[in-house]
Structure 1
Amino acid sequence: MVEIMNMKKISLGIFVVLLAFVSSCRDFIEPNVPYSEFDTALYLRTIRSAESNSLTFNFFDLQSSRFNVTLEAVDAEEGTTVESIEVRVRHRRLIPGVGLEFTPAPSGGQRQEVTVATISGSDFTQSPDNRFKRVVADIPASAMIQALGLTADEIEGGDVFEVRLYATDRFGRVFGPDNRSSDVAGGVFYDSPFLYNIDVICPLAAGYGLGEYQLEQTGGPSDPFFGNPTRFVEEVVTLTEGSTSIARTFTVNYLGGFTTRPFSIIFSCGVVLKPEEAAGAGCGGPGILWESDNDNLATYNLDDDSVIQVFFVDDTESSCGITDPIEFTLTKL
């Protein structure tokens, strides 16, 4: 009898514990949060795999150049809430020793743009890959130039056309580059910047600046930390095509190999640019960064890639107090 009573007590105890566990699980699964009051938004995913995409203008053939990008509308209703997309443009030019010049010019400290096209929500069609809707934004370079009040003769290699998209949904909300998050803009899944910087490029000949080169640091001080004669190891590097057809990437060993990092350059219509990249080391703050000085750029020969020079600044933000100009010489092997 005692054993039966003990078993009943144990069974009752187990039942209470299980009941508490189930209750706690239910509270976790269905918390008392007003999800019905949450709002949803809209973004325009860039379909990078689209064959028609064109995100550069050819300086030598502006008449045939065009901005073309495939967009996928993503919202709570499978991309059907889009009413319209306004496409605005601004022209940007870097003038060495002066700074950036914009057309149209800023007014009252505010960015100014001109509308070059409007895409209707009815232009979207069903995506072949999923349940969302897609549209192709296709605008000739000539239309942008004309909308800005410029002529083709006024465009220079290295200029940039800033193309911004503003999507309005049927609720009257507007989504664009000024109210999207960084994750939405640059995330691999979202890839919805609402802003496309269209470079005016001078296309390179097939094979230009590709393959093995001997890297030498021909300008700049020595390694301040480990006593090496140069800050960058002099060695054979392999140049490959970077993020665009005029970009090249290779690997460098910094401070005697303390860090090994990718190093990118851009051939921009006569000058070699070094976009900002991290050295993978630092003494606080943003760490050591590398970037070209727009007042001191190396030039290149479109017809000869046997020797390439790169001028840039090491530790641009003075993370370690070693800010100095550096010169590379790349000799093709």
Structure 2
Amino acid sequence: MKNINKTYGLLATLILLVSSCADFVDPVIPYKDFDTGGYLRTIDRTSDSFNFFDLPNSNFALILESVDANDGRDLVSVEVRVRHRRLIPDVGLEYLPELGVEDRLVLTLTESDFAANSESRFTRATFSIPAMDAIEAVGLSEDDIEQGDVFEFRLVLKDKKDRIFSDHNRSSDVAGGNFYDSPFFYNVTVVCPSDLDGTFSYVTTGISAGPGGNAGACGGTVSGEITLTQTSPAQYSLSDASFGVFGCAWGDTPPAGSLRLTDACGFLQFAGTDKYGDPYTITIVSNDGASLTFNWSNAYGDGGTTTLTSDDEDFVFPDNLRTS
């Protein structure tokens, strides 16, 4: 009986080994007969925004890699097409040309624009489209452009098999995967660059304090340093948005909370609230480039007149700053 069991055990072991080995055998699938496509890997987004203050010198620029079964050499052409988009408050998105109408051709790359490179076996191309070309392509002028406008650029790849690849027929993995990074679609926003981050010396006078505070403890003037830290392209956190008043009038730590200073194309205002839930207002008094003076207050009654001076001698407050 033991011998029979051993025989069955040996047979079972052999079956298991054969099954295990079978896992390493390539299945009989005709890979060579599969139809493969192509895509455009984004190697570098050299420039993907337009400067509202300098549209004539702004551009949309990419470095692209053509990927296909023939190392990118099946590419015939790449059309770069554009559409303008604007968000209208209380209305919605407005497109030019309208959705349903073909977007406008602004540039065509050909096979000759793609060349071998030292970093991969595929071919690469670099292109740059001036903002003014995109604006003209959609039928607008420089004066028509507003901060926050978006230009939608769409790539259309044609290969030697007369196939078309674009954002309409690519998968989500191809579009956003780290390996592929081939969206065929790029949003280029008209932005107002802001550069107010840094460390500043402050002097605050005309100090007021809300109920329970002691403005007199500030002695009429309080001074110190604050840091503005850029948290988004046009928004800054402040190390002390009370510019010393919370410390001297309340013996309290800085306002903190979600309070931010925003710079929307030169228009300064406070957004969010401090740790007590109070919003803040700001009104510019003067700006000579070296120093910025403004009145500020919060909903509780704290406030003052503060002058900021940068610790960087090369820093200049932009002359377009305003609060009304």
Partner of 1:92: 85
Partner of 1:291: none
Alignment of 1:122-141 (within 5 A): 122-141=112-131
Larger Rg: 2
Q: Compute the displacement of 1:29 (Å).
A: 2.8
Q: TM-score, normalised by structure 2?
A: 0.61
Q: Compute the displacement of 1:20 (Å).
A: 5.3
Q: Compute the displacement of 1:84 (Å).
A: 0.6
Contact 1:247 1:266 in 2 (8 A): yes
Partner of 1:32: 28
Q: Please tell me the residue identity of whatever aligns with 1:309.
A: A
Partner of 1:118: 108
Q: Distance in 2 between matches of 1:160 and 1:209?
A: 33
Deviations 1:154-195 (A, max 9, x none): 111111111000111111111111111122212222211111
Change (3 A) 1:136 1:24: same
Q: Compute the displacement of 1:11 (Å).
A: 9.1
Change (3 A) 1:249 1:33: farther
Q: Please tell me the residue identity of whatever aligns with 1:82.
A: L
Q: Please tell me the residue identity of whatever aligns with 1:160.
A: V
Change (3 A) 1:17 1:96: same
SS of structure 1 residue aligned to 2:78: strand
SS of structure 2 residue aligned to 1:55: strand
Q: Please tell me the residue identity of whatever aligns with 1:126.
A: A
Identity of aligned residues (%): 44
Q: Compute the displacement of 1:102 (Å).
A: 1.1
Equivalent pairs, count: 236
Q: Distance in 2 between matches of 1:327 and 1:129?
A: 54
Deviations 1:282-310 (A, max 9, x none): xxxxxxxxxxxxxxxxxx41xxxxx6315
Q: Compute the displacement of 1:111 (Å).
A: 4.8
Change (3 A) 1:269 1:95: farther
Contact 2:261 2:270 in 1 (8 A): no
Say if 2:97 is the partner of 1:104: yes
Partner of 2:250: none
Q: Which runs of 5+ in 2 are unaligned?
A: 201-226, 239-257, 282-297, 299-305, 309-324
Contact 1:201 1:268 in 2 (8 A): no
Partner of 1:73: 66
Q: 2:41 aligns with which of 40, 45, 58?
A: 45
Partner of 1:168: 158
SS of structure 2 residue aligned to 1:29: coil
Q: TM-score, normalised by structure 1?
A: 0.59
Q: Please tell me the residue identity of whatever aligns with 1:36.
A: K
Q: Compute the displacement of 1:80 (Å).
A: 1.4
Change (3 A) 1:71 1:92: same
Contact 2:262 2:270 in 1 (8 A): no
Alignment of 1:251-266 (within 5 A): none
Contact 1:158 1:268 in 2 (8 A): no
Q: Please tell me the residue identity of whatever aligns with 2:97.
A: P
Change (3 A) 1:137 1:265: farther
Contact 1:184 1:191 in 2 (8 A): yes
Q: Please tell me the residue identity of whatever aligns with 1:37.
A: D
Q: Compute the displacement of 1:58 (Å).
A: 0.7
Q: 2:185 aligns with which of 182, 190, 195?
A: 195
Q: Compute the displacement of 1:75 (Å).
A: 1.7
Q: Please tell me the residue identity of whatever aligns with 1:79.
A: G
Q: Distance in 1 between matches of 2:119 and 2:235?
A: 31
Q: Distance in 2 between matches of 1:38 and 1:102?
A: 39
Partner of 1:155: 145
Q: Distance in 1 between matches of 2:278 and 2:164?
A: 47
Hey, which bits of structure 1, 4+ residues long, moved more than 3 A?
9-20, 237-242, 245-250, 264-270, 326-333
SS of structure 2 residue aligned to 1:54: strand
Deviations 1:23-60 (A, max 9, x none): 55235532233333322221111123x6xx01110111
Q: Compute the displacement of 1:76 (Å).
A: 1.8
SS of structure 1 residue aligned to 2:170: coil
Q: Which runs of 5+ in 1 are unaligned?
A: 1-5, 211-236, 251-261, 271-299, 302-306, 312-325
